[in-house]
Chain A
């Protein structure tokens, strides 16, 4: 993945506000990159742009040589479905679906025939087979994040985007989740782009990108 001159500017009232300023970097397949910085430094905005969830004011993101922003929104969605997995701070499980159904969702959207079997396997990998039929509200935070991991890895993505995956968890649970995520990452050879506050976690990634006020400082 290659980011070239990414800039994001929004209007705050009548005044333009630059959230990201000319950010460029490169991540090789299988590498891991931690994006760190204080609150409001532009980390989540950068992650959103890298995943094609938002469009930049200028600059481009090349994924396997394809410019994400030359595609329309549906094209990017298709690409995300094929290549990307996501883990969020707030888990983002669908409340009406049980754990198994949440894991099945990306497979079903892609029209996979063996969605149930693959989802069950994925839940087994995160140690939650016994909780497969529980609704998110009946799961603890750590369990919900493990379901989110199972959902992220079930499609065997080439690249995993993780936004503060331990932000809503206590230290012990957070560390278990991180171990699990890194292990799955290694096992599948997935490229990892991780946004975090946690310096220790950042150091476990192959590369770090430090942001301050929307600019790369390291």
Chain B
């Protein structure tokens, strides 16, 4: 107890003398950065998730062609989840003499569970309920095609309904080809009276579930085994591959941002702890001399570090909370999006990380203090004791590695960054030492203050190398983040050009190809490329018969249990990329090209022989290539493409996608009128929603990036401050010997320029390598090497370090030398 009291007394006294401030600042900024990024990312993740969930109107959706067992709903309700059921089916809607095939959805109160439907019943507003009994809401397409307006009557089945609103913004649209007829929303209690609910009706039943994320996940797991073959369970990630990809990349990026914050914090902590130890060596030697034992010294500082940790974590947490709230407030779209409040987990994570950083970086120095020789009181020139033992280094490395992997949120990302950091640590350190000594040896070419600067840096070779390593690693992390962000933005913006197809046309019969193409020519619209489509079921891989039971994975089961859309073509579609094997040349037969994702899910490899059942006949062919498909291209894509001769003789229909400009919407209606069997799918609304989500992700990524950059600068400033002592003493001696403040300023700026330039150079080199690895193996985006990164690295590094260094040392050159020497 008395040791604790003494420790706290020492802390109080040290605090008064400003000894702890740099360490505290570094740690508060570290925890603050981690908390800000964590909290902010959490809020945005929740918001994006919710927004994405509005695409399916729920957190989880089960669809089936048969009514659900009541057990499913009960299981969800037992977990405190909200449940709504709806039924969707195609039916004719009539108005006066006109009829139109539409998609009718009847639903219960509470729908939708996620997202909002906007309606226009005289004024545009968010619907607070579902249509009242005897009324329906319909979409613009239906009104236009049937020349109807709100207030008119529409016939559905054997009943007539009043159209009380136009649906302005719809949700819960599937991207499948079945549901893109005009939409009608009605109250479920009216369904029976339409007489449409009969044996053999093509009804799709949907059970929508929403609530606490963990409970939803648990329910999902519990339902997995209960679902029958015709029941399909999906969340937004299953339903929308393009959103899944964007979300996963955004999460990776935010993970990387948090990791960057941790690296910067680590760099600053390492330097601050080093300064702390150097400043306390004499004090510890005196205490050892006055009878303090090693354990006492260790505990004296350990107590202080623990207290420092608690205070930093509290202050850092508060800083993080306030900053992220400010960040959200400062971005207009975020403010309007009314983001959900963040969870407590990111704060806890930042707190634990703060302690881990403190112990990871402070434990070694503390052990050094414990081992300081009491003889130092007589011989101050004795070197500081070296912490020894692989165990201790291993421990520090383990703590930091775990921290990285934890914050990265992905093993691959964490390992890539950690590997990059470790390599950087060794290579940068060694190179810095060699270069600094080389510069000092060849310094006679330079002006006196440069010469002096080189010599200074070489003399403090170890300390300067440590600084270069810390700055390089921090800079590398920031540059990687900059590059990855630019690549990410480009890949997102490149995804959806303005003329992205917004209509699919499906079910074109072979004899309609020419008339449909003529129609497009007449309407002065680009003629879509039409692709044949044949439905087939995969029944064997390499003579091994397969079915749903062959796979433990639910997605694989679902894929095998249903029919695939197969196609055949001579040339690889331009928006597909070959990732394995070779595309066939003219005249080559019996070959298949498989999308890489489905190949992985089903365990299909190049060279495998697949057997398909198409309308009762089978065919067998070898997989000769794997393709990567841009699902978010909004173009027609197929999981499996065959050489033409394999499928040409099977009955096929054709489909294509095209961009219908807003001023030619009527052409779409004409197409449906002229070819009533065609299904024209309007994906425009879906594209708008996807684009909106991607815009928000992009803004988020930019905001988090800016904050990390800012906290990076702040942490680096703290890091530079931590090495001020060595310069302070030397400046005093030089001033005593007649150096004026201009000379000192130039000397310091030259030193910082060398440190910054070298660090920037190393940071750029590291960033180019690490960026390429991340883009290729983790984020799966094209990597573009950019020469400007070298200029940004060197120039930026020099400028930033010189500025921060100038801020840290500007008072140094003005202080009377005697005061500095007396304080030393």
User: A residues bordering B, Cβ < 8 Å?
Assistant: 44, 47-48, 51, 53-54, 73-74, 77-82, 84, 86, 88, 90, 92, 94-98, 101, 105-106, 108-111, 135, 137, 151, 163
Q: Are A77 and B380 in contact (CB under 8 A)?
A: no
Q: Are B373 and A109 in contact (CB under 8 A)?
A: no
In the complex, A97→B291 CA distance in Å?
A: 18
> Can you name 11 A-B pairs with beta carbons within 8 Å?
A48-B375, A51-B374, A53-B373, A54-B373, A77-B292, A81-B292, A96-B14, A96-B16, A96-B283, A108-B6, A110-B291
Nearest 6 interchain pairs by C-beta: A81-B291, A96-B17, A106-B290, A74-B293, A53-B374, A53-B375
In the complex, A81→B288 CA distance in Å?
A: 9
CB contacts (< 8 Å) of A135 on chain B: these are: 17
Q: Are B290 and A109 in contact (CB under 8 A)?
A: yes
Q: Are B374 and A77 in contact (CB under 8 A)?
A: yes
* Interfacial residues of chain B within 275-301, with CB under 8 A of chain A in the complex: 282-283, 285-296
State which of B17, B286, B292 has its C-beta within 8 Å of the C-beta of A92: B286
CB contacts (< 8 Å) of A48 on chain B: these are: 375, 378-379
Smallest CB separation, B589 vs chain A (Å): 80
Smallest CB separation, B186 vs chain A (Å): 78
State which of A78, A86, A97 has its C-beta within 8 Å of the C-beta of B13: A97
With A53-B374, A54-B375, A108-B6 already in contact, 11 other A-B pairs whose C-beta atoms are closer than 8 Å: A48-B375, A81-B290, A84-B291, A86-B377, A105-B290, A108-B9, A109-B287, A110-B291, A111-B2, A137-B823, A151-B290
Smallest CB separation, A163 vs chain B (Å): 6
Q: Are A77 and B293 in contact (CB under 8 A)?
A: yes
CB contacts (< 8 Å) of B290 on chain A: these are: 80-81, 86, 105-106, 109, 151
CB contacts (< 8 Å) of A92 on chain B: these are: 282, 285-286, 289, 377
- With A80-B289, A110-B291 already in contact, the answer to whether A101 and B375 are too (CB < 8 A) is no
In the complex, A77→B292 CA distance in Å?
A: 6
* Interfacial residues of chain B within 1-35, with CB under 8 A of chain A in the complex: 2-3, 6, 9-10, 13-14, 16-17, 19
In the complex, A97→B289 CA distance in Å?
A: 17
* Interfacial residues of chain B within 358-388, with CB under 8 A of chain A in the complex: 373-375, 377-380
Q: Are A94 and B289 in contact (CB under 8 A)?
A: no
Does B822 touch A at the CB level, under 8 Å?
yes
Q: Are B291 and A82 in contact (CB under 8 A)?
A: yes
In the complex, A44→B380 CA distance in Å?
A: 12
- With A54-B373, A97-B13, A137-B823 already in contact, the answer to whether A109 and B378 are too (CB < 8 A) is no
Smallest CB separation, B331 vs chain A (Å): 44
Q: Are B283 and A94 in contact (CB under 8 A)?
A: yes
CB contacts (< 8 Å) of B10 on chain A: these are: 96-97
CB contacts (< 8 Å) of B286 on chain A: these are: 92, 94, 105
Smallest CB separation, A95 vs chain B (Å): 7
State which of B289, B293, B822 has its C-beta within 8 Å of the C-beta of A86: B289
**Per-residue 0/1 for B798-822: is the Cβ within 8 Å of any A Cβ (1 yes, 0 no)?**
0000000000000000000000001
CB contacts (< 8 Å) of A84 on chain B: these are: 291
Q: Are A47 and B378 in contact (CB under 8 A)?
A: yes
Most buried by A among B16, B282, B286: B286
Smallest CB separation, A49 vs chain B (Å): 9
* Interfacial residues of chain B within 119-178, with CB under 8 A of chain A in the complex: none
Smallest CB separation, A179 vs chain B (Å): 24
Task: Output the nearest chain B residue to A49 by Cβ-Cβ distance.
Answer: B375
**B residues contacting the other copy or chain, number (CB 8 A):** 33
In the complex, A54→B296 CA distance in Å?
A: 19
Smallest CB separation, B749 vs chain A (Å): 29
In the complex, A79→B374 CA distance in Å?
A: 13
Q: Are B13 and A96 in contact (CB under 8 A)?
A: yes
In the complex, A84→B13 CA distance in Å?
A: 25
- With A47-B378, A97-B13 already in contact, the answer to whether A105 and B293 are too (CB < 8 A) is no
Q: Are B378 and A101 in contact (CB under 8 A)?
A: no
Smallest CB separation, A18 vs chain B (Å): 17
Q: Are A88 and B377 in contact (CB under 8 A)?
A: yes
CB contacts (< 8 Å) of A98 on chain B: these are: 13
In the complex, A136→B286 CA distance in Å?
A: 15
Q: Are A73 and B294 in contact (CB under 8 A)?
A: yes
CB contacts (< 8 Å) of B293 on chain A: these are: 74, 77-78
Q: Are A96 and B19 in contact (CB under 8 A)?
A: yes
In the complex, A79→B291 CA distance in Å?
A: 7
Q: Are A109 and B377 in contact (CB under 8 A)?
A: no
- With A48-B378, A96-B14 already in contact, the answer to whether A74 and B9 are too (CB < 8 A) is no
Task: Output the nearest chain A residue to B18 by Cβ-Cβ distance.
Answer: A96
In the complex, A109→B374 CA distance in Å?
A: 15
**Per-residue 0/1 for B288-329: is the Cβ within 8 Å of any A Cβ (1 yes, 0 no)?**
111111111000000000000000000000000000000000
In the complex, A95→B290 CA distance in Å?
A: 16
Q: Are B9 and A44 in contact (CB under 8 A)?
A: no
Q: Are A109 and B291 in contact (CB under 8 A)?
A: yes
Smallest CB separation, A188 vs chain B (Å): 17
Q: Are B377 and A53 in contact (CB under 8 A)?
A: yes
Task: Output the nearest chain A residue to B11 by Cβ-Cβ distance.
Answer: A96
Q: Are B378 and A44 in contact (CB under 8 A)?
A: yes
In the complex, A86→B289 CA distance in Å?
A: 8
Q: Are A108 and B375 in contact (CB under 8 A)?
A: no
Smallest CB separation, B712 vs chain A (Å): 31
Smallest CB separation, B781 vs chain A (Å): 52
Smallest CB separation, B188 vs chain A (Å): 76
In the complex, A90→B822 CA distance in Å?
A: 11
In the complex, A92→B10 CA distance in Å?
A: 16
Q: Are A74 and B374 in contact (CB under 8 A)?
A: no
Q: Are B375 and A105 in contact (CB under 8 A)?
A: no
Most buried by B among A92, A101, A111: A92
Q: Are A109 and B296 in contact (CB under 8 A)?
A: yes
In the complex, A80→B283 CA distance in Å?
A: 16
CB contacts (< 8 Å) of A163 on chain B: these are: 378
CB contacts (< 8 Å) of B287 on chain A: these are: 105, 109
In the complex, A98→B295 CA distance in Å?
A: 25
Smallest CB separation, A102 vs chain B (Å): 9
Q: Are A108 and B2 in contact (CB under 8 A)?
A: yes
In the complex, A47→B378 CA distance in Å?
A: 9
In the complex, A12→B5 CA distance in Å?
A: 44
Q: Are B17 and A78 in contact (CB under 8 A)?
A: no
Q: Are B291 and A77 in contact (CB under 8 A)?
A: yes
In the complex, A79→B292 CA distance in Å?
A: 10
Task: Output the nearest chain B residue to A75 by Cβ-Cβ distance.
Answer: B293
CB contacts (< 8 Å) of B296 on chain A: these are: 109
Task: Output the nearest chain A residue to B290 by Cβ-Cβ distance.
Answer: A106
**Per-residue 0/1 for B166-200: is the Cβ within 8 Å of any A Cβ (1 yes, 0 no)?**
00000000000000000000000000000000000
Most buried by A among B285, B373, B378, B823: B378
In the complex, A51→B23 CA distance in Å?
A: 35
Q: Are B294 and A137 in contact (CB under 8 A)?
A: no
Task: Output the nearest chain A residue to B3 by Cβ-Cβ distance.
Answer: A111
Q: Are B292 and A90 in contact (CB under 8 A)?
A: no
In the complex, A151→B287 CA distance in Å?
A: 12
Most buried by B among A81, A88, A151: A81
Task: Output the nearest chain B residue to A89 by Cβ-Cβ distance.
Answer: B378
Task: Output the nearest chain B residue to A106 by Cβ-Cβ distance.
Answer: B290
In the complex, A101→B13 CA distance in Å?
A: 9
In the complex, A74→B374 CA distance in Å?
A: 11
In the complex, A111→B290 CA distance in Å?
A: 12
State which of B285, B289, B823 has its C-beta within 8 Å of the C-beta of A95: B823
In the complex, A62→B355 CA distance in Å?
A: 46
CB contacts (< 8 Å) of A108 on chain B: these are: 2, 6, 9
CB contacts (< 8 Å) of A101 on chain B: these are: 9, 13
Task: Output the nearest chain B residue to A96 by Cβ-Cβ distance.
Answer: B17
Task: Output the nearest chain A residue to B282 by Cβ-Cβ distance.
Answer: A92
In the complex, A8→B341 CA distance in Å?
A: 68
Q: Are B16 and A80 in contact (CB under 8 A)?
A: no
In the complex, A98→B375 CA distance in Å?
A: 24
CB contacts (< 8 Å) of B3 on chain A: these are: 111
Task: Output the nearest chain A residue to B2 by Cβ-Cβ distance.
Answer: A111
CB contacts (< 8 Å) of B285 on chain A: these are: 92
CB contacts (< 8 Å) of B380 on chain A: these are: 90
In the complex, A163→B289 CA distance in Å?
A: 13
Q: Are B378 and A88 in contact (CB under 8 A)?
A: yes
